Structure 1
């Protein structure tokens, strides 16, 4: 028998399920040590059984275990029935034939028991996999819920901080309207009249391209002074700069990190104090 015939004989599946006889198991183990093809086929078959168990990872019926156990007990009862005394057996039946039938009956009972035990084992694996999958799903849901709560908490903090700035009666509100090239853009500068801190709400500006960033400028005595770089995280929550004096404010789009002088052709909004 060549390797392919040996593999297709079903011995690998019987070995994995525990149905192979000790002699068959011993021969297979010896063959696998000396035949890479048979060993590879065994490993592949083992993976297939594992994938099958994973694919069938569903909750088994509640009464399945009891049904299997009842079948096992029934098989055991049949196997343990007393042997009929030879004196009551028809003399035409040879003792050797009776012994052979009893052995066959016990062998069949053992195989039935082994099949039932294998099924029970697979059911147990499926139940455990289902339980593990359920636990993982629960943990993921809890993690997602925790993440959502954290996000909501941070969003609430941001809104509270923004409200604190925008509702402060000491804040001077300056509306910056879109210039001719960007008529739909607008922004609002909040300038603290006491501390002179400058805040910016610019969420109505287009999203800055990659590598670019909006820069706020204060126009003081006719000269532009950088009032800080804008990011979404700072929107009306974090002071960009401290500007003691200004007659107007404007926003330009600059390279990320800012510029020493404004790029006039990239101006988006402007507004007088």
Structure 2
């Protein structure tokens, strides 16, 4: 794996988010010490994630402090009213009550503090739940951005491979145009004159339905020869077959796994050399 592939693997984002395994983290830290490009990519990703976190920061409601203070004052007013009502009651001169007067209940200021602590606790819990939900949304957005970035890098890698093929003097390019039923379909065959290997770029073909697959055919002496089954991961990257000679190429849509002979009514594109 080269440096660009390592950067695009997503390990940097996983490390920053704390999802990387100890082994992955250790490898990345070692690589950053010896590879300036990886270190620069790490710093860029870190700035991006920090910027996103700043944008998503949540400020507590402005009236939260006043609501808590009003709640505490209300509790204090209840404490002040209760002793005043007790003072208006007639005094009972019972011996036992006089004897036990030291044990009469006294109001404690700690109740006020307990109420305030409870309110603050509930606010804290609500804030933590909201923060956790926000963090979850942030992580989803970061994962989406990482996936989009990786998709762009993969598209760039495919483009670079095609450019290499275009600039290769040993590579013969055969344009395949859509037949009457599929006039908008297009494909490109890259045929290496030295190795005789055949590569296919079929991004302009419609996505194959479930259970179906595109099959490439080489026309040799008027007869179709199987030139391999196409999959997206092979596009312009992996040779489908070795074709010593051919006069034309065509693509048909077949059942998954291919066919021994082409289904002519399912032909999409064809091109002569």
Task: Name the TM-score, length of structure 1 as normaliser.
Answer: 0.59
Cα distance 1:66–1:159, how it changes in 2: closer, same or farther (>3 A)?
same
Out of 174-183 and 207-216, give the one that drifted further: 174-183
Cα distance 1:105–1:235, how it changes in 2: closer, same or farther (>3 A)?
same
Distance 2:207 2:68 in 1: 66
How many pairs does the alignment contain? 203
Cα distance 1:114–1:206, how it changes in 2: closer, same or farther (>3 A)?
closer
- Structure number with bigger Rg: 1
Displacement after TM superposition at 1:69 (Å): 10
1:247 maps to 247
1:15 maps to none
1:64 maps to 65
Distance 2:251 2:64 in 1: 73
1:143 maps to 143
Distance 1:127 1:181 in 2: 61
2:189 maps to 189
Cα distance 1:62–1:138, how it changes in 2: closer, same or farther (>3 A)?
farther
Distance 1:169 1:260 in 2: 33
Tell me the alpha carbon deviations over residues 94-149 of structure 1, each in whole angstroms, 9 at most, x when there is no partner. 6559x99xx79827x66655443332221222222233333333333333333333
* RMSD between superposed Cα atoms in Å: 4.1
Contact 1:58–1:126 (8 Å) recurs in 2: no
Displacement after TM superposition at 1:217 (Å): 0.8
List runs of 5+ in structure 2 lacking aligned partners. Answer: 1-57
1:106 maps to 107
List runs of 5+ in structure 1 lacking aligned partners. Answer: 1-56, 84-88
Distance 1:146 1:183 in 2: 36
1:225 maps to 225
Out of 143-152 and 248-257, give the one that drifted further: 143-152
Superposed, 1:78-157 pairs within 5 Å as 106=107, 112-157=112-157
Displacement after TM superposition at 1:203 (Å): 2.8
2:52 maps to none
Cα distance 1:104–1:240, how it changes in 2: closer, same or farther (>3 A)?
same
